[in-house]
Structure 1
Amino acid sequence: MALRSSWSIWLILAGLVSLGGFFLALVNPEMLGWDPLCFAIASALCQVLAIPARLVLQKSITGLAEFRRNQVGAVRRRTVGAIAGSGIALSTAITFIGQWEGLRTEAYRDVVGIWTVCYGETKGVRPGDRYSKAECDAMLAREIASYEAQLDRCLKHPVPVGMKIALVSWTYNVGAGAACSSTLVRKANAGDLAGACNELPRWNRGGGRVIKGLSNRRGAERVMCHQALKEAA
């Protein structure tokens, strides 16, 4: 009886977590009167907690053995990395990358005439589009997860989370193709993580000339990279 009661409590909590994530997906921070960053962190935590919640709910319906056989929607290491799999790391990445990308909540034409919004998003953007900061943060979170997954296909050596955030910021800026064919990734895969961090300042050019903004960004990424190695040691 005690075990059954305990299981029921877990089932109720799992249902509340699932409903919480669904609710946060339907509202924005302005509606709740929340700070946008707090709202983004809460949304990320609900997404993370939804994984064990699904396990609990699935157990109550079909049994754990059947759930293990059913691989639909399973979380795999190849598709969910250190950043995307952690609400705290994802929130840190959004803040770090977002400050360099710049936020504009109303659609605008970039320097080459492409309609852009939020943190440089161009997919499906049309004139007159407007988004809240929380919606822009959610867009950036999806892009971060995508770029992390692309980087993970070539970055085979494990790295600390802080270093991973710095490298995903760099990859987001230069492109996954350039990142994966770089000396930086080759050094990291060889175990020379400090040497990989030191490669970042070399990526500070645009159109064949040094760009101050890129130099500043690469410098900040290098600092984060080395700090993560220091903390891991």
Structure 2
Amino acid sequence: MKANKLIALGLSGVLAAVGVTVANFEGEELAGYLDPVGIETACYGHTKTAVAGKEYTEDECLNLLAQDLAEHNSLLMSAVNVELSQGEHVAYLSFHYNVGSGNFRRSSLLRYLNEDQRLRACDELPRWVYAKGRKLVGLVVRREQERKMCIEGVNSAKNDNDTIQQH
């Protein structure tokens, strides 16, 4: 249902899929709050204009998610120099949404990805499970799921390329 609403807000299929993934990881909080490391957050992990204690509607939250995803996707794709499979795109956009553009751009993950070391890049995801020096169980779970999507995307892209080359 969230995917249909995100598509109605103008997001493409991949961004809508990422939206559902991010919404599941972040959870929906209709009241602004402080996250585990003290950052004002609301809705589905929105931080840019979040106000702790402010009440948000579900529609406001979906609009914020759509705006955030579009912005993060633009920043992600401006840093990546290789074509991503759908699985990689979903995994890396979810990751980017969580860690931010600066951390993503400085990461060895991005360096490996742009060097076309795809599986090595996927294997970097589980390293990102700390927030302000604290290992968070939720991030461990999230990164393992992102890694799985990433590896499946790399493998399906390889299989597609092998199939194309055989014809």
TM over 0.5: yes
Farther off after superposition, 101-110 or 90-99: 101-110
Equivalent position to 1:130, from 56, 68, 75: 56
- Alignment partners' CA distance in 2, 1:89 and 1:206: 27
TM-score, normalising length from structure 1?
0.60
Matched residues, percent identical? 33
Q: CA deviation at 1:215?
A: 0.8
Equivalent position to 1:172, from 97, 106, 118: 97
Equivalent position to 1:153, from 57, 61, 78: 78
- Alignment partners' CA distance in 1, 2:40 and 2:129: 25
- Alignment partners' CA distance in 1, 2:37 and 2:119: 37
Alignment size in residue pairs: 157
Look up the equivalent residue of 2:6 and give its one-letter code: A
Question: Against the structure 1 CA distance between its residues 197 and 119, is the aligned structure 2 distance closer, same or farther, given a 3 Å change threshold?
Answer: same
CA offsets 1:32-71 (integer angstroms, 9 cap, x no match): xxx5553333x14xx3xxxxxxxxxxxxxxxxxxxxxxxx
Equivalent position to 2:69, from 130, 140, 144: 144
CA contact (8 A) 2:128 2:143 kept: yes
In structure 2, list runs of 5 or more residues that go unmatched.
Answer: 160-167
Farther off after superposition, 99-108 or 187-196: 99-108
TM-score, normalising length from structure 2?
0.81
Larger radius of gyration: 1
Question: Against the structure 1 CA distance between its residues 128 and 198, is the aligned structure 2 distance closer, same or farther, given a 3 Å change threshold?
Answer: closer
Output the aligned Cα RMSD: 2.2
Q: CA deviation at 1:117?
A: 2.2
Equivalent position to 1:163, from 68, 88, 93: 88
CA contact (8 A) 1:147 1:176 kept: yes
Look up the equivalent residue of 1:187 and give its one-letter code: Y
- Alignment partners' CA distance in 1, 2:6 and 2:19: 9
SS in 2 for 1:180: helix
SS in 2 for 1:130: coil
Q: Which has the higher contact order (CA 8 A, sep 6+)?
A: 2
CA contact (8 A) 2:30 2:56 kept: yes
- Alignment partners' CA distance in 1, 2:56 and 2:109: 37
CA contact (8 A) 1:94 1:137 kept: no
Question: Against the structure 1 CA distance between its residues 170 and 122, is the aligned structure 2 distance closer, same or farther, given a 3 Å change threshold?
Answer: closer
CA offsets 1:185-206 (integer angstroms, 9 cap, x no match): 1111111111110110111122
SS in 1 for 2:82: coil
The aligned residue for residue 39 of structure 1 is: 5
In structure 1, list runs of 5 or more residues that go unmatched.
Answer: 1-34, 48-83
- Alignment partners' CA distance in 2, 1:187 and 1:113: 31
